[in-house]
Amino acid sequence: MPRYFVSGDAKQDDVILVTGADALHMMQSQRMRVGDTVDVVVDGEGVYSVVITAFENSTVVTKILERLTEQRDSPIQIVLYQGIAKGERMDIAVQKTTELGTFEIVPFFSQTCVVRLDERKARKRQERWQRIAHEAAKQCLRDTVPTVRHPIPFTTVVNEVGDGLHDLVVFPYERETAHFVSDIDVHAPKSVAVIIGPEGGFSGPEGEQLVAAGATVISLGPRILRTETAGVVALSLVGARFGDLDRKVERSNG
């Protein structure tokens, strides 16, 4: 059963109102009935187990049963800088890395990007990717929906790396063969950025700029991975080393 995300003003005392596309999904696709229970994430407050008490036009009225304290989001904030890829490759990258726990997804243009978008198309794509992240977060029972930022140029990526916004910046690079995630000598980072290039990879000068800005170069193995695969592999390795993909997680309600 997927989770549903609502804004803070949807909660009124012990009542939570679900509206819009999620309400239609609950009524039409899920065919829910009065008395059914679901989990609802209230922005800024937490996750609640609720029971459906009524259907009023296009609104699903629910009553809070309990607040859930189980943590399903990663204990580290993972920011994915993803080189913009063509068509469904970008969609897959957004969907799968959302499932793996990314906190924020930052699409960017680099020298080898095949895709070129004007402002209107960039805005439309960003809206589409945000919807994909929203649906993926619902399906995998996350506590939050990652933010998909408006596409930025590669120079901004370099500047953000250089500004020290993250405790660790991981840069998988096909030219690296000796260093891996397991070799990173960083203890308990709270914020990790992962930089993945587009279909054409990075040019030599771009790679040098990222290293000069402070990125840690690693290898993802002996094979060349597609861009939508590289992000999944990198986030899996980072999540296993520093996050919650390879450790027991406490399960409790309260």
Using 50, 70 and 90 to split pLDDT, how confident is the model at 206? very high
Mean pLDDT of 193-213: 93
**Token pair 């679901």 is at which residue?**
38
198 pLDDT more than 80 = yes
As a whole number of angstroms, the distance between CA 106 and CA 86 comes to 15
What is the C-alpha R_g of the chain?
20
Where residue 47 sits, what CATH number does that domain have?
2.40.240.20
Final residue of a domain: which of 68, 87, 104?
A: 68
> Which pLDDT score is estimated for 107?
96
Q: Does residue 252 fall inside a structural domain? A: no
> Which pLDDT score is estimated for 248?
63
116-163 pLDDT, tens digit per residue, is 888 999 999 999 999 999 999 999 999 999 999 999 999 999 999 999
- Token code pair at residue 128: 């589409």
In this structure, which long-range contacts are made by residues 127-136, counting pairs with CB atoms below 8 Å and at least 24 apart in sequence? 128/91, 129/90, 129/91, 129/94, 129/105, 132/91, 132/94, 132/95, 132/98, 133/94, 133/95, 133/98, 133/105, 134/5, 135/95, 136/94, 136/95, 136/96, 136/98, 136/99
As a whole number of angstroms, the distance between CA 214 and CA 193 comes to 11
> Which pLDDT score is estimated for 31?
92
Q: Does residue 219 fall inside a structural domain? A: yes
Q: Which carries the bigger pLDDT value, residue 230 or residue 117?
A: 230
191 pLDDT more than 70 = yes
As a whole number of angstroms, the distance between CA 146 and CA 167 comes to 19
Say how many domains are in the chain.
2
178 pLDDT more than 60 = yes
Q: What angle do CA 74, 124, 227 make, to 5 degrees?
A: 50
Q: Does residue 254 fall inside a structural domain? A: no
Where residue 137 sits, what CATH number does that domain have?
3.40.1280.10
Using 50, 70 and 90 to split pLDDT, how confident is the model at 249? low
Mean pLDDT of the chain: 92
Q: What's the sign of the alpha-carbon dihedral 236, 44, 4, 94?
A: negative
Q: Are residues 148 and 222 in the same domain?
A: yes
Q: Does residue 247 fall inside a structural domain? A: no
Q: Which carries the bigger pLDDT value, residue 115 or residue 54?
A: 54
> Which pLDDT score is estimated for 175?
86
Using 50, 70 and 90 to split pLDDT, how confident is the model at 44? confident
Q: Are residues 199 and 225 in the same domain?
A: yes
200 pLDDT more than 90 = no
251 pLDDT more than 60 = no
As a whole number of angstroms, the distance between CA 233 and CA 250 comes to 25
Q: Are residues 41 and 124 in the same domain?
A: no
> Which pLDDT score is estimated for 161?
95
Using 50, 70 and 90 to split pLDDT, how confident is the model at 254? very low
Q: Are residues 54 and 101 in the same domain?
A: no
> Which pLDDT score is estimated for 252?
45
Q: Which carries the bigger pLDDT value, residue 111 or residue 100?
A: 100
Q: Are residues 186 and 210 in the same domain?
A: yes
169 pLDDT more than 90 = yes
Q: Are residues 188 and 153 in the same domain?
A: yes
Using 50, 70 and 90 to split pLDDT, how confident is the model at 86? confident
Residue 37 Rama label (left phi>0; alpha psi -120 to 50; beta): beta
Final residue of a domain: which of 68, 92, 115?
A: 68
Range of the domain at 105: 77-242
> Which pLDDT score is estimated for 30?
87
By the 8 A CB rule, do 191 and 238 touch? no
